[in-house]
Structure 1
Amino acid sequence: MARGRAGEKEEGEKHIGLLKLAQTLSFLLIFMAGIIIGLAASSHIDRYFNSLPTTTFSSSSSATLQTVSDYSNCTVIHRDCTGDDENHDDDAAKRKRRDRDCWSVDGFVRPENLSHGMSDDELFWRASMVPAKEGYPYERVPKVAFMFLTRGPLPMLPLWEKFFRGNEKYLSVYVHTPPGYDMNVSSDSPFYDRQIPSQKVEWGSPLLTDAEKRLLANALLDFSNERFVLLSESCVPVYNFSTVYSYLINSAYSFVDSYDEPTRYGRGRYSRKMLPDIKLHHWRKGSQWFEVNRKLAIYIISDSKYYSLFKQFCRPACYPDEHYIPTFLNMFHGSVNANRSVTWVDWSIGGPHPATYGADNITEGFLQSIRKNETDCLYNEEPTSLCFLFARKFAPSALAPLMNLSSTVMGF
């Protein structure tokens, strides 16, 4: 019996020893696995963090190169503040550049040239920026931005140059031409180097309204511009610059043609697909040749919601250039709009285009009939016979007689 118990005890101790050995081996295996996993993870983490300086450097280099590319023809800041540009031999020009302060407010509020690589979305975002602080930290002379939407040449350019002469401090010029078209003007012309980056335009399509907004946005980059006039290559001034400037700068209202047309040419162009955002009673029609103040210009280029509806649903025979701005202002800013245009045009012949006037039509009496309207309009809520500052449509042949009459009739 004693021997049997001793055997059982020995067998039990042996079994316990095996269990302890198995536990020890298990712990060793788990420990070794942990070490292996830890080393692998450590190696992966090391590779990750070691790659960060390279990635950061690569990203930084790319950003630096991109910045150089973007600002090589910058319209907002001066890219050369040292005056060490070897490509310029003019010592006076070098001294002028050397005196520039790249961080001055002047470079931000008054762009030196109009060339840039911004997309329309980038341009509209940049132009929509409004200072929260009232007033200006510099002497601001409010200017009128004359924005020309053209199909190419400007046949009335000599007349406009004569109109602008001596008043450069109070105006800015912006020209939207077909892409690739190069205006051939002298370096002393107000039109010199004033073409904005443009895109293709088609009559009656949203592309035409895109061009209008593009002109507004580029003009808004200059914080001195206070009033914005849209003109075509066939437009002419019918008063001298001082009269036009005073009329616009001192106006409490903007001048956008906006009226309810209860025919198929007005309400008939409305699409119920614009509901619920744009309703029929909102719908307005008007001439595309508008004049707006700075605040309204910012509202127009900042709008995406309503303009997207026009781009989608206002298609021929609906024309966005005749309906978008008149409707948008009627919906939200009607109280500050005079609901009339300051550009005279003759629609008496009927059809989709107004009458065109050539050399044979240009007389003193004809011009005076435009200047002194038979029906008074309102200016700052007071009746006046001075209703139109500009007129269209004029053929190239009209230039010579207009130049001859500009000093005696129009005063410039």
Structure 2
Amino acid sequence: MWSDVKPILRPRPDSNDDADYFPSTPRKDWSIGVAKVVSFLAVFMAGLILGSSINAHFGRFYTSQADLFFPRAVYSDCDGNCLSLKHFIKPSHLMHSMTDEELFWRASMVPRMAEYPFQRVPKVAFLFMTRGALPFAPLWDRFFKGHEGLFSVYVHSLPDYRLNVSKESAFHGRQIPSEEVSWGSITLVDAEKRLLANALLDFSNERFVLLSESCIPVYNFPTVYEYLISSAYSFVHSFFDDSKQCKGRYNRRMAPLIKLSEWRKGSQWFELNRELATSIIADRKYYPLFPKYCRPSCYPDEHYIPTYLYMFHGGSNANRSVTWVDWSRGGPHPAMYGAKDITVEFIQAIRNNGTKCEYNSQPTSVCYLFARKFAPAALEPLLNISSTVMEF
């Protein structure tokens, strides 16, 4: 009877309940098994990560190679216009961060193809060099009105100066990046080249005329436009004489690049076609001689362009200026005309004063399209007679 009674099994004080219901496993073997599982999982995850990385690398490689031939999409940081022809042939903004060296390099680019892949209407670029205000802006605006698309305006002023003109003015937003300019120094030539280079960035600009804040037009826009666009020659005054103001300014250290027989003097106020303007911008051989050897009392702005064109483009130059200036009073500066000087007869005398010149190898009496120097007070009387005398 007592043999049929089974003893009640109680867990040992140091055992756990689960150990009495499952086959017993030594604690050491169980720990080793867990460690192996953890190690296996670690190795597995490392392999998975490494494999994904390699797959992504080769995927990007083959994708990038395929995109060379089968591009799938445009770059997201381009607004659709950054490589457009429109932005290349005519910059939408005049202000930029290029240095002069970068600007001149960019402006010296010349297409090898004779035909343009766009409808090109040749324009006249009016290059204004001024220290500050443009007192005759209202007169020029009247001159430009109604002829949009046939001209461009560029203004080189003191670096910190801002023109105060209305949004409707042809001068609004037309200032270029500029530097300080000193009369009689090489900085004047630098400013001229800066104006030319910025205007060359617009491929529609065909003629380039340099003007100052004291210049006025003496003919209407259609006459000026047709005269310049149809001319077979550029208009740069260039001459040589034995005077102290010409021969006396030559420095023999310019030889052999520039000989005395090639030395020339002329008016600063030029008019150039696109080919000659590009050639001047691209010159890095002869220009450096002028800041070195043409110093007061040698004035680079009176010698560099006249000399350079005589040496290399003499056959393309009419050898005269289209800007009238009165030097009859003597001195280092031309005569200045104010309000009391402005009469119908005076402007008519500038337009047709008996001077004879040649235009496209034919004699003409229309020799001057612009005139200087005029004081700001001359604006009002000029506006009063512009419609009857200048016809604008």
For normalisation by structure 1, the TM-score amounts to 0.76
Q: 1:374 aligns with which of 354, 359, 366?
A: 354
Q: 2:119 aligns with which of 119, 136, 139?
A: 139
| Structure 1 residue ranges without an equivalent (≥5) | 1-78, 83-99
| Structure 1 pair 81–242 and aligned structure 2 pair: CA distance change class (3 A) | farther
CA positional deviation for 1:311: 1.2
C-alpha distance in 1, partners of 2:202/2:248?
Answer: 39
Q: 1:300 aligns with which of 280, 294, 317?
A: 280
In our comparison, the structure showing a higher alpha carbon Rg is: 2
Partner in structure 2 of residue 258 of structure 1? 238
**Alignment partner of 1:115 is 2:89:** no
Q: 2:251 aligns with which of 256, 271, 290?
A: 271
CA positional deviation for 1:375: 2.1
Over residues 241-276 of structure 1, what are the superposed CA-to-partner deviations in whole Å (9 max), with x where a residue is unaligned?
Answer: 000000000000000010112200001000001010
Q: 1:397 aligns with which of 370, 374, 377?
A: 377
Ranges of 4+ aligned residues in structure 1 off by more than 3 Å = 79-82
Over residues 332-380 of structure 1, what are the superposed CA-to-partner deviations in whole Å (9 max), with x where a residue is unaligned?
Answer: 0000000000000000000100000000100001000100131210000
Percent identity (aligned): 67
| Alignment: residue pair count | 318
Over residues 302-324 of structure 1, what are the superposed CA-to-partner deviations in whole Å (9 max), with x where a residue is unaligned?
Answer: 10111100111000000000000
C-alpha distance in 2, partners of 1:101/1:263?
Answer: 56
Q: 2:159 aligns with which of 143, 163, 179?
A: 179
Does the aligned pair in 2 maintain the 1:344–1:370 contact within 8 Å? Answer: yes
Partner in structure 2 of residue 243 of structure 1? 223
For normalisation by structure 2, the TM-score amounts to 0.80
| Structure 2 residue ranges without an equivalent (≥5) | 1-75
C-alpha distance in 2, partners of 1:310/1:356?
Answer: 29
Does the aligned pair in 2 maintain the 1:238–1:391 contact within 8 Å? Answer: yes
Partner in structure 2 of residue 38 of structure 1? none
Does the aligned pair in 2 maintain the 1:255–1:341 contact within 8 Å? Answer: yes
C-alpha distance in 2, partners of 1:193/1:183?
Answer: 8
Over residues 282-320 of structure 1, what are the superposed CA-to-partner deviations in whole Å (9 max), with x where a residue is unaligned?
Answer: 011101000000000000011011110011100000000
Residues 101-250 of structure 1 mapped to structure 2, 5 A cutoff: 101-250=81-230
C-alpha distance in 2, partners of 1:289/1:327?
Answer: 14
Partner in structure 1 of residue 71 of structure 2? none
Does the aligned pair in 2 maintain the 1:168–1:190 contact within 8 Å? Answer: no
C-alpha distance in 2, partners of 1:373/1:127?
Answer: 39
Aligned-partner residue type, residue 370 of structure 2: F
Over residues 162-185 of structure 1, what are the superposed CA-to-partner deviations in whole Å (9 max), with x where a residue is unaligned?
Answer: 000111110000000001001111
C-alpha distance in 1, partners of 2:218/2:237?
Answer: 19
Q: Classify the secondary structure of the residue corresponding to 2:287.
A: helix
Q: Classify the secondary structure of the residue corresponding to 1:111.
A: coil
Aligned Cα root-mean-square deviation (Å): 1.4
